[in-house]
């Protein structure tokens, strides 16, 4: 209840958050953590650290992590705190002019015991534009701080590629509850839901289902090929997406090869060497309330 009051107080004081981050741990791929665990492990005492670290198998790495979950959690928490300190710097922030002015952090644990962090961020120079499909300053901020391109994360891009698991459908959903694959897009834009009295609504929703099936089951070399195969003009394609939305939504620029990629910030993803997700909050009430409701529900759970 205290944490619930904290986040409500921050929204009253600071207004809507700018973005919502999810940061995951990747303990078996963090060399510095593995060295710490190796030094602390009794089974490897007396063995030369430098010679063995390069030879540890995946099973040995996992064993080191499983034997000392407390150290792993402390390490993850300190790593997240250092990342937030750097992002909050007014001079050296990787976010540049959009440095963090405040944040709300919540660390949770997955069923396998690994921690992950959910963080609401309030950024300096958030343009707070009125909601419309023309928000140039907001689009500039989004393009500056997020990416789905392999060129921005050449060494660990695979961490960001989604693969369906049972959690995608655990509530008996017919499609992935994370709405993946994402819609390919020629440029970053904001789309607003189609009007409820639009007579094309049912037809557009049926076409939306077909387009999702095509993204799931077929491979297309280009965006134009995808539209042609599904008998879509570009404007009709945007209307199809609008029919599937419940609130104004950011659609990131994506090629056909990036439809399965979680959006990321390249600096955070490189520093963390693990999966992350970044979502931008547009509205003072509906989008912010959605994110806050999610955080509060997790706190109460």
Question: Within a domain: residue 43?
Answer: yes
| pLDDT the model gives residue 46 | 54
- Considering the chain, what is the average pLDDT of its residues? 86
Q: Domain for residue 24, yes or no? A: yes
Mean pLDDT, range 258-273, rounded to an integer: 93
14 contacts 122 by C-beta, under 8 angstroms: yes
Checking if the pLDDT of 179 tops 90, the result is no
**pLDDT in the model for residue 145:** 95
Is residue 296 predicted with pLDDT exceeding 80? no
pTM, rounded to two decimals: 0.86
Residue 64 lies in a domain: yes
Q: Indicate whether 227 belongs to any domain.
A: no
Residue 199 lies in a domain: no
* Banded model confidence at residue 300, pLDDT cuts 50, 70, 90: very low
Q: Cα separations (Å) of 212 from 56, 207, 237, 240? A: 42, 9, 12, 11
Residue 202 domain flag: no
Strand order from edge to edge, sheet including 19-24 = 100-109, 115-123, 19-24, 276-280
Q: What is the pLDDT of residue 246?
A: 86
Domain coverage including residue 51: 2-193+245-300
Q: How many domains does the chain have?
A: 1
Give the whole-number percent of the chain exceeding pLDDT 70. Answer: 89
Instruction: Write out the H or E segment, with its range, that includes residue 288.
Output: helix 286-300
Record the tokens describing residue 23, joined without a space.
């940061």
Q: Which pLDDT belongs to residue 287?
A: 46
Per-residue pLDDT tens digits for 274-294: 999 999 998 765 444 555 555
């Amino acid at each position: 209840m205290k944490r619930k009051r904290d986040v409500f107080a921050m929204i009253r004081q600071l207004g809507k958050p700018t973005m919502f981050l999810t940061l995951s741990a990747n303990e078996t791929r963090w060399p510095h953590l593995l060295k710490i665990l190796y030094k602390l492990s009794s089974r490897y005492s007396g063995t030369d650290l430098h010679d063995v670290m390069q030879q540890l198998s995946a099973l040995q790495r996992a064993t080191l992590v499983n034997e000392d979950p407390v150290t792993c959690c402390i390490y993850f928490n300190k790593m997240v705190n250092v990342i937030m300190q750097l992002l909050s710097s007014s001079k050296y922030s990787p976010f540049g002019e959009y440095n963090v002015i405040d944040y709300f952090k919540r660390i949770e644990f997955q069923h396998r015991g690994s921690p992950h962090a959910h963080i609401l961020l309030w950024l300096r120079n958030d343009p707070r534009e009125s909601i419309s499909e023309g928000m140039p300053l907001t689009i500039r901020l989004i393009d500056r701080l997020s990416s789905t391109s392999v060129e921005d994360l050449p060494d660990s891009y695979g961490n960001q590629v989604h693969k369906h698991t049972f959690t995608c459908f655990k509530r008996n959903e017919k499609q992935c509850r994370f709405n993946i694959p994402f819609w390919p897009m020629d440029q970053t834009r904001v789309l607003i839901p189609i009007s409820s009295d639009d007579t094309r609504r049912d037809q557009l929703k049926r076409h939306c289902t077909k387009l999702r099936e095509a993204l799931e089951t077929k491979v297309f070399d280009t965006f134009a090929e995808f539209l042609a195969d599904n008998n879509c003009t570009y404007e009709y394609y945007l209307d199809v997406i609008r029919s599937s939305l419940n609130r104004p939504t950011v659609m990131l620029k994506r090629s056909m090869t990036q439809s399965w990629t979680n959006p990321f910030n390249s600096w955070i993803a490189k520093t963390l060497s693990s999966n992350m997700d970044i979502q931008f909050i547009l509205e003072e009430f509906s989008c912010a309330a959605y994110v806050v409701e999610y955080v509060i529900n997790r706190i109460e759970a």
